[in-house]
């Protein structure tokens, strides 16, 4: 199948073409119009997607060396995300599918991250063959799930407050770093001492307040945020500036330690031999290294998408649509476009929710 995927849920306009199980193109354009606002301005994001969508889709088709008439289906993010931004990609995709007389497939953005271990990144690409634990860490979600081969999954843990990406972005904001602060902290941390200050790791073995952390796969990052704020308030500005790299490394180490400990504990608890890490935060170099090291130590297989497939991209949307076709999960029923996804505890199948 030749699938066009479109992703516009936040501040990336992206289009990708999958020819069979090969990524033939994956164009990602990151919006710059939000600089100076300290976050993404929804209305500006929608307008920018509208300005870019035609040329991004054209580039994806051209780079894949096909014509639009050779497409078999078009998939687009239907949420969660900034609803105006989602609607731009979704309406464009549905209109284009209608005009070409081919099916349109709505895809859940977070599920697309969750299943990104299946994006056929290269001819040698290996995907998980049995059940695996998925850690999905983005700007708005932190989910631990046990995923089965038939694309069904159960969410076993989620954040009680901030997402892992938010923990990076909000602590980075306190340090005066530009949005999104995750990649900036990642870069700064490489020159810093991660043991400079021990920030709290809630709901883990090292937490003083939670004795019942075993078997608890939920996350909490708001305490870390408060701890960083109070630490900053107690120290003079020059001291903070002189130790910016050390603070970045210590904050990053706290977040990464929690993510690694919980993921490995979940794999052991559910006796699963494979782990995948996906979503924007999975681009973090310290998380990638720590997860590789921990999985190797415990004899667990690790699936990490390449960094372009960690952050928002349309290849993951096209890839999940392809998997849904393979597993017979594409249905012609009505769908909702939603800014939020609840990810309740029941077993769900990819995008049948």
Residues binding ligand KG4 (CB under 6 A): 10, 113, 138-140, 165, 168-169, 180-183, 186, 279-281, 283-284, 311-312
Residues 195-234, interacting with Zn ion (CB under 5 A): none
- Rounded CA-CA distance 163/159 in Å is 6
Residue 60: which of 112, 18, 12 has the closest Cα? Answer: 18
Q: Which is nearer to ligand KG4, 190 or 347 (CB)?
A: 190
Q: Which is nearer to ligand KG4, 23 or 61 (CB)?
A: 23
Q: For the CB of residue 55, give the shortest distance to Zn ion in the complex, in Å.
A: 22
Q: What is the maximum alpha-carbon separation in the chain?
A: 64
Please choose which of ligand KG4, Zn ion, none residue 183 contacts, taking the beta carbon within 5 to 8 angstroms, the exact cut-off set by kind. Answer: ligand KG4
DSSP 294: H
Please choose which of ligand KG4, Zn ion, none residue 350 contacts, taking the beta carbon within 5 to 8 angstroms, the exact cut-off set by kind. Answer: none
One of 26, 46, 134, 138 touching Zn ion (CB under 5 A) = 138
- Rounded CA-CA distance 123/135 in Å is 25
- Rounded CA-CA distance 165/138 in Å is 5
Please choose which of ligand KG4, Zn ion, none residue 2 contacts, taking the beta carbon within 5 to 8 angstroms, the exact cut-off set by kind. Answer: none
CB atoms within 10 A of CB 200: 18
Q: Which is nearer to Zn ion, 139 or 200 (CB)?
A: 139
CB atoms within 10 A of CB 237: 9
Q: Which stretch binds Zn ion (CB under 5 A): 12-20, 158-166, 294-302, 304-312?
A: 304-312
> Which residues contact residue 94 at a Cβ distance below 8 angstroms, ignoring those fewer than 6 apart?
74, 76, 104
Structure tokens at 42: 């929804």
One of 96, 312, 321, 335 touching Zn ion (CB under 5 A) = 312
List of residues contacting Zn ion (CB under 5 A): 138, 312
């Amino acid at each position: 199948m030749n699938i066009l995927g479109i992703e516009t849920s936040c501040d990336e306009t992206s289009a990708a073409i999958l020819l069979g199980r090969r990524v033939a193109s994956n164009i990602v354009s990151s919006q710059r119009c939000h600089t100076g606002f300290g976050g993404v301005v929804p209305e500006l994001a929608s307008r920018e997607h509208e300005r870019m969508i035609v040329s991004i889709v054209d580039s994806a088709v051209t780079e894949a060396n096909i014509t639009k008439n050779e497409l078999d289906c078009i998939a687009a993010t239907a949420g969660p995300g900034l609803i105006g931004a989602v609607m731009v990609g979704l309406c464009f995709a549905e209109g284009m599918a209608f005009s070409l007389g081919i099916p349109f497939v709505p895809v859940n953005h977070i599920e697309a991250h969750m299943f990104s271990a299946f994006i056929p990144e290269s001819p040698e690409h290996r995907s998980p063959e049995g059940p695996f634990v998925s850690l999905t860490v983005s700007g708005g979600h932190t989910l631990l799930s046990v995923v089965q081969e038939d694309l069904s999954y159960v969410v076993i843990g989620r954040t009680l407050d901030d997402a892992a990406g938010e923990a990076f972005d909000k602590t980075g904001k306190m340090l005066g770093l530009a949005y999104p602060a995750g990649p900036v902290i990642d870069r700064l941390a490489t020159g810093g001492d991660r043991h400079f200050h021990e920030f709290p790791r809630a709901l883990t073995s090292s937490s003083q307040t939670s004795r019942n952390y075993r078997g608890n796969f939920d996350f909490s990052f708001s305490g870390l945020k408060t701890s960083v704020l109070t630490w900053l308030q107690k120290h003079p500005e020059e001291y903070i500036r002189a130790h910016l790299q050390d603070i970045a490394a210590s904050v990053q180490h706290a977040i990464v330690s929690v993510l690694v400990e919980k993921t490995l504990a979940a794999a052991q608890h559910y006796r699963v031999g494979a782990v995948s890490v996906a979503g924007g935060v999975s681009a973090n170099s310290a998380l990638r290294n720590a997860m590789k090291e921990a999985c190797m130590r415990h004899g667990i297989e690790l699936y990490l998408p390449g960094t372009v497939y960690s952050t928002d991209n349309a290849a993951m949307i096209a890839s999940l649509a392809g998997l849904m076709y393979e597993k017979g999960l594409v249905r012609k029923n009505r769908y909702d476009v939603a800014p939020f996804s609840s990810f309740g505890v029941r077993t769900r199948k990819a995008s049948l929710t």
